[in-house]
Every structure is written in structure tokens, then in C-alpha cells.
Structure 1
């Protein structure tokens, strides 16, 4: 790549958001370049193979919540490697008084589960008659008001820890769980909304997250972004750290600029280089976007800097199958904060997908830290392994020591959609309206799941394409 080159679109960041956006733009014949500061693509999607184990350092799987996922898999030729999780993965567990209890999957199992008391179950009968709130609520306030304290304690609290690694009193229900919030807004209640919403989804052929299938790939989650990057070929530049974005302010096509309004400066192989572009897509974590946009909009930079992330340590443990008393037939378990344990939960990795552990072994992934105990995520690897192993010992009846382990710490793991978050994202939208040609796309905007990121990437790619078309039609 020459020191200075002109393209239609520069995408900064080669995580799933940036790569998906670049993929769809490229298929439209748009000249796109992706700049990634790391030596390999994928962002937090990182997979390693060691000693017969396949270990996910980031996301272990994803939900097939949008047809765009299967479209992207098909367009990149990954169909043969695509895997749905073991059907037993529908079985998920909650720790209560130190014991595992299955989350109920049917009305009958709900009536008989010991997770909730009889009074808590009867409390649900009041839910359709509870009025809407008049102010922005945290997810804790919302659930406590509509469903009661026990459902918050033994269902929503661990659920929030499993998704956001957060405390439910910190997150905005409107921002972090917009579909849950919409049930109350549209239908007046959750139970009525779930029934009516299911009927409406059937007519639109949509799939809700509770019915979406869990998937991964034969060689792990990182094979997804890697395959997208492979398809883009030399248009993805790795180990390229962007140092600045300059806006020339030129809105008219001229012989000199050919409409290249933005100058993207970066370092690659210890050399400075630049790309001139009509459009820039920032697909980076909020703090990186803030540093790059400071010269263009210091107010937006401050807003993005205020987006907080929860720290998480991921500890993969391998055991001899004979040393684990529990059958591990399921997805794993989550831990309510009231249990006062030092882990957020555990995935039974080798039960979900084939090829995750050698014959005669099992693999489990334990998550530590988050908004509950952020200091634990910074522990040394040896202490993380000891902590994880000691917490698992009684829960899944482990008799021996782990025969393999691997730790990964993510100091800035998951963006926190806190109270007031909608106002922050409105500032992003306002900036895009005032700065034609710049788009922001990452998991701090529009949802944190893989499916959310892919949908956001598709929307941004379409907006960028429309902007370029309008520009060319002048």
C-alpha cells in the first residue's frame, strides 16, 4: 500500500462490526480499506488451540438472532464450519444456596421449580395490572416493580451478570434491554407483551432471542472475522494504528480532492502513512473513538470517554472427565450476587460444541470480576485459576485439580448501558448529522451481542453507501 492513497471508505477497527460493514460495502463495488492496530482481526473474538483444547478467549458463542448472520456465513463460505450448540444447551442453571437449579423451560417446570417461592409465583398475577413508570428506571427497579424481589434476585441479577457482567441497579432498562422495556410501553405489561409479541413475530417471520439458536464454528468464533478479513484480502491492513483523522471540510467534488474530505493518518511498520477518504467508519471501542475524534468534536470525545466498560477475567479449566461428578449436560450456570461468591458464572464449553476438549477430558470457562467485583478481574493468573477451581469444586463436584488452564483478562470487556445512556447515544447521532461522512459503529451502540453488532454494521454500511451515492450525484 503506498504512503498516500485515496479510497471511498476507511473503516477503523477489524472486529466483527468493522469487518461486516467493510464486507457489505465491498460487495457493492465500493473501494474500502480496513485499518486494524492488532496483528490479527477479530477484536475480542480470539480463539486458541492448545494441548487438544479449543479455548475461546472472548465470546464463546453467539445467538442467531438475525438472518444477516446466516447471510454473512454463506457469503464468506463458512457453512461447512458452522455449528449449532448441543440441544442440551437449552438447560441452564442458577446457583441457589450453593446448589444448581435448572431454569424452568415450561409453565409446569416453573410451577414446580424451587428457585422461586410460592408467594413469588403468585406475585406474577399482579404484573398485568401494574402501571408504567414515570421516570427512567434501572433494570433492577423495573423488575422489582413488575415482577418482585425474588425474580430480580434469582433470575434477572444473574442474567444481567451473564450478559453485561454488570449489576442490575447500574443499567438502564430502556438502553440495555430495549425489547423488555418496549413490552411495557407497547402492551402495558410483560406477560401480555410476550403473548402478543410472539403472535406478531410469527407473522413477520422474526425470531426472538429466547428462541434463537446458539452457534459457533468448528475452529472457534475467531474463524468468523478471520474469514471475512480473508475475503477482503489486501484491503485489510493489520498492525496499522490510526493516529488521527482530519476533516478538510470539502463538500464539493474538485479535481484536486476528488471528494476525499477526510485524511486518515496511521502508523504501519514504523512508518507514517495516510489514506484520503470520502467516508470514515469508526468501529472501535468508545475510548479509542474518543481519542480519534477529539480534534473534530471535543464534546463528543468527552461523551465517548464517559462510556464505562466492565472488566472481566475469563478462566478456561480442563479436567479429567472422571474427576467431575456433575454430568455437565447443559449450557452452564450463573451465580446471583446474593450467593456472595467470587465468580459470575461458568460455561460448560466442551458440552456445547464438539472438539473443545481431548477425549476423556472436559473444559469449562469461568468468568470473574465484572461490575460486582471488578478488582478480581485484575488478579494474577495463578490466583485466578485457584479462585475459579475452588468455586467450582462443590458446585459441580470436582475431586481433582485442573490438568490445563488458560486465563485472559479484559480490563475493558463490555460497555455498560447505564442510566442516561440514551442521551450519550443521541450525542453520537447528532454528531453524525452535523459531520456528514463519519459513522460510528461498535458494541457500545445498538447492542453488545454479535447479532446486534452485525445488524448495526449492515445499517452503517447502507448509510455510508447512500451518502456516497448522494455525493456522486452532485
Structure 2
């Protein structure tokens, strides 16, 4: 018997891969969720006129992780529900930043790198020459912040106006704190190995290997052939976790909602006792934890305080999400994915996504404003109300996008401690945590964004690799 803690995307994906590895066996599998909701932070509010995505809204098809997700989606029978955004779509090409009270389009073609594009003071080709001229740092650099790395390789403007807002969009974090070794490991290794990013890129081009297309489903091949930039699912991204939940239920997984585990007792290397909020116990042979690291820390602290301490050392941030619907007959925005606000601008908002440009079946103008993140407590504190966040969102939509009318509908969520921060040293921190578990032969696997990456693809691939680690 095995138990999965958490019915977010990580937990549902873990169940999916466990079933795939044990398709002909009699493995008894439990999925324990503390709330009455599956899918974690993925939530879609759908009406006849719009879809409000309260968490992630699109998925990238690139890389091993991205192709793996597409393979899963086809296996679940969702291929016909996919809505791709190809590389030539405005939502793929047009991405903006808000700097010095103006929206600026980021360069989106090869010609732009030879021109001076505000807010940059020089053509971006200069940043390439800067990297080629810079030497590798003296000594072995074990890790660094993304900001330091980019400023060193490409200059301060690239760090401030390109990379820092991108990190806000990825993990609502501060590029001056986030680990380059974790989020941009390949670029960091190119610098350490070859002395620069461009030098490493040139070498990689000659060493590049084609994907093994025999391992790809038709959907994954289609994404490559049609050059998808990102994609979503018609009717809302929540369709994916709902379909996963149904797949697990159809294959006899015991899904227990509103079941909060209060303590994990490790009896020996093949027996775990899970104690719930009512004092009832469930004995299993292995636990797959997909809950946030800070939640798992509370469950193991009694027996393993050192493990709990290390788990709590992974910081998380809170994000405010405000969805807005304007039922206008003509679009109130220019075609684009949206815009991000660099931290140097000292703004309470992280950015705005133009959902009506990148999500299908939207009637009118639909926007999502993201607030706070690493700076949430500074701007809003612990007691901020949803009305306060709505007011801030509307003020910035009015001043930046010049939309003066009130939305016909809106939704405000405060996602408390929703995104882990992969600060400098994160890679080694996770390695230390997993080594502790391995050395003591504890029957538990750690899965999800706390450890292996914040994106949908990362979470699904984390489930796959941890399940395979147990069975291969």
C-alpha cells in the first residue's frame, strides 16, 4: 500500500505514474487531500462569456519536461481540447514591460537586437559583445543569484529590465535572491565550463541532439512541427487535474477529501503510520509527499526535527490575483501576452496578463493582475482585504492601460504561501534533504514545486522521476 499526500497537480500526477508502473499489480493506493478541492493552485472559473484563471493559464511545450506533459495529455484523451498559441501569435510575440510610466515592447525579432529599444539605452547586440568580452569569474563559483549572473554577463540594463521582470513572472520572486544554478543551470554551467554564455551556446549548437521522436505521442510531434509557443486547454486549465482525478478514481485509487494528516510516524524502512485530524491511523508501505515543504515539516518534526528544519528553510511567497472582465464589443487592450513590472519600478503589482488574447472563447476584455509576491508583506501586510487588492489592481489598470470603466465582473484571490523561492543554494538544500531521507532509509518521496521547479511541466516531471526512482 502507498499513500499520496496532496491532491494538487503533483499528487494527481504521482497517482497517474504509479498506476502506469503498476498497471497489472494489486497496489492499493490512497490519495489524501486536506481540502475539498483537487488541483491545488490550478483553478478555472468559467462562465458563458469568460474564463478566469486563478492560477496558471498556459503550458510550455518545449524540452523534455514539456514533451512529457504532452504525452500525458494525449494519454488522458485531452488532445482535442488543446488550444495552441503558435510562435507567430501576438500573445507569443508581444510581451511588454512597464518602465518609467510607459509600456515598452520587448524585442521580438532578430532585427530588434541591432536597434535601440527603450528602455534600453543601447542595442541589445552590445549585451552579446559584453558577454564575449567578460572573463569567467576567478575560482570555482558554486552558485550565484540570477541578477548577479546576468549583470556580470550582459550588463545592468538586461538584469533590470529583462531578467528581473521575467523572474517576477516565473516565481513572483527577486532575481537578486533566486539561484541561477537552479533556474538557469545550463547558462551557469556554460559560463563555468566555457567562460561565457555565448561561447557555451555556440558549442552546444554543434553538439545538439535531436529528440527521439519515436518516444513522442502524435500531440507532442504536432507541437514541435507547428512550433507552439505555449498552449492551454479549452474550458480552463483545471480540466487537466479534473481529468487526472477521474482517471485515478476509475482505476480504484481511494481518494479521500477533507482528510488532513497531522503526523507521519516512520515505523521502519517499509512501514509508515499516517495519523489524521481525528486521530485515526492509516498504515502504508510508502508515502509520496506533494504538499508544500513547510506543511511536510509540521508532519515529520516530532521524529525528525533536523529534516523539518531543512524543509522550513525553503521560503514561500504570497501572491494576490485579481481577475477582471470588461464586456466591451471592441478590445480595450493591444494584442499581447501582457506586461510585467520590473522590481526597480517599486510597484505593488508584478504584472498583468491579457487573458482575452491568449485564452480562447473570451467575450470582451479579460485581464489578470498579479500583486505582491516577494514584496507582498511590504505592500499589503498580513491583514490585507480582497477589496484593498481590487482597488490597487483597478488603479493600475486605469493608469497604465487607460481603462476607465469598472469591470462587469471580477474575482480576487489571495494565494497565501503559494510559490517557493529558489534562493541561492536551493539545489544543494534539496540535495541535502533527499540525502537525509536516503541515509535513514525513510519510506517517503518528495515531489512537487517545493523541490523541482514551479512550472506545470516541472511538477508533472517531478512526479514521474520520483515514481521511477522507486520502481526502476
TM range (shorter): 0.7 to 0.9
Equivalent of 1:451 in 435, 457, 462: 457
**Pairwise mapping of residues 170-249 of structure 1 onto structure 2 (< 5 A)?**
170-204=177-211, 213-233=229-249, 234-249=253-268
In structure 2, what is the Cα distance between the partners aligned to 1:312 and 1:408? 8
In structure 1, what is the Cα distance between the partners aligned to 2:19 and 2:120? 52
| Structure-2 change in CA distance of 1:79 and 1:324 (3 Å) | closer
In structure 2, what is the Cα distance between the partners aligned to 1:20 and 1:443? 13
Equivalent of 2:55 in 45, 58, 66: 58
> Which segment drifts farther, 393-402 or 383-392?
393-402
Equivalent of 1:142 in 139, 142, 149: 149
Q: Are 1:25 and 2:18 an aligned pair?
A: yes
TM-superposed CA distance for 1:17, in Å, is: 1.3
TM-superposed CA distance for 1:437, in Å, is: 2.3
TM-superposed CA distance for 1:121, in Å, is: 4.3
Equivalent residue number for residue 217 of structure 2: none
In structure 1, what is the Cα distance between the partners aligned to 2:166 and 2:68? 25
In structure 2, what is the Cα distance between the partners aligned to 1:367 and 1:84? 23
In structure 1, what is the Cα distance between the partners aligned to 2:420 and 2:19? 29
Equivalent residue number for residue 410 of structure 2: 405
The superposition leaves residues 59-111 of structure 1 with CA deviations (integer Å, 9 ceiling, x where unpaired) of 12221232211121122222222222362211211122222222112221122
| Structure-2 change in CA distance of 1:198 and 1:318 (3 Å) | farther
Equivalent of 1:130 in 124, 130, 134: 134
SS, match of residue 344 in structure 1: strand
SS, match of residue 63 in structure 1: coil
| Structure-2 change in CA distance of 1:375 and 1:114 (3 Å) | closer
Equivalent residue number for residue 3 of structure 1: none
| Structure-2 change in CA distance of 1:463 and 1:123 (3 Å) | closer
TM-superposed CA distance for 1:120, in Å, is: 6.3
SS, match of residue 186 in structure 2: helix
The superposition leaves residues 166-187 of structure 1 with CA deviations (integer Å, 9 ceiling, x where unpaired) of 1111112112332332232343
Instruction: Say if 2:265 and 2:300, in contact at 8 Å, map to a contact too.
Output: no
TM-superposed CA distance for 1:44, in Å, is: 0.9
CA RMSD of aligned residues (A): 2.4
SS, match of residue 264 in structure 1: strand
5+ residue gaps, structure 2, are 214-219
The superposition leaves residues 14-65 of structure 1 with CA deviations (integer Å, 9 ceiling, x where unpaired) of 1111211111111222432111111021111111224732111111222123
In structure 1, what is the Cα distance between the partners aligned to 2:52 and 2:118? 34
TM-superposed CA distance for 1:114, in Å, is: 2.5
In structure 1, what is the Cα distance between the partners aligned to 2:207 and 2:336? 30
SS, match of residue 55 in structure 2: coil
Equivalent residue number for residue 318 of structure 2: 311
Instruction: Say if 1:324 and 1:397, in contact at 8 Å, map to a contact too.
Output: no
SS, match of residue 451 in structure 2: coil
Q: TM-score, normalised by structure 1?
A: 0.87
**Pairwise mapping of residues 6-85 of structure 1 onto structure 2 (< 5 A)?**
7=1, 9-29=2-22, 30-50=27-47, 52-65=49-62, 66-85=66-85
TM-superposed CA distance for 1:464, in Å, is: 2.2
SS, match of residue 349 in structure 2: coil
In structure 1, what is the Cα distance between the partners aligned to 2:145 and 2:247? 42
In structure 2, what is the Cα distance between the partners aligned to 1:149 and 1:291? 41
SS, match of residue 210 in structure 2: helix
Q: TM-score, normalised by structure 2?
A: 0.87
Equivalent residue number for residue 111 of structure 1: 114
Q: Are 1:273 and 2:280 an aligned pair?
A: yes
Q: Are 1:391 and 2:396 an aligned pair?
A: yes
> Which segment drifts farther, 446-455 or 25-34?
25-34
Instruction: Say if 2:57 and 2:232, in contact at 8 Å, map to a contact too.
Output: yes
Equivalent of 1:89 in 85, 91, 102: 91
In structure 2, what is the Cα distance between the partners aligned to 1:371 and 1:121? 31
In structure 2, what is the Cα distance between the partners aligned to 1:405 and 1:131? 51
Instruction: Say if 1:316 and 1:365, in contact at 8 Å, map to a contact too.
Output: yes
The superposition leaves residues 192-220 of structure 1 with CA deviations (integer Å, 9 ceiling, x where unpaired) of 333443554453469999x7631221121
5+ residue gaps, structure 1, are 1-6, 252-259, 467-474
In structure 1, what is the Cα distance between the partners aligned to 2:406 and 2:187? 42
Equivalent of 1:261 in 271, 293, 296: 271
| Structure-2 change in CA distance of 1:184 and 1:45 (3 Å) | same
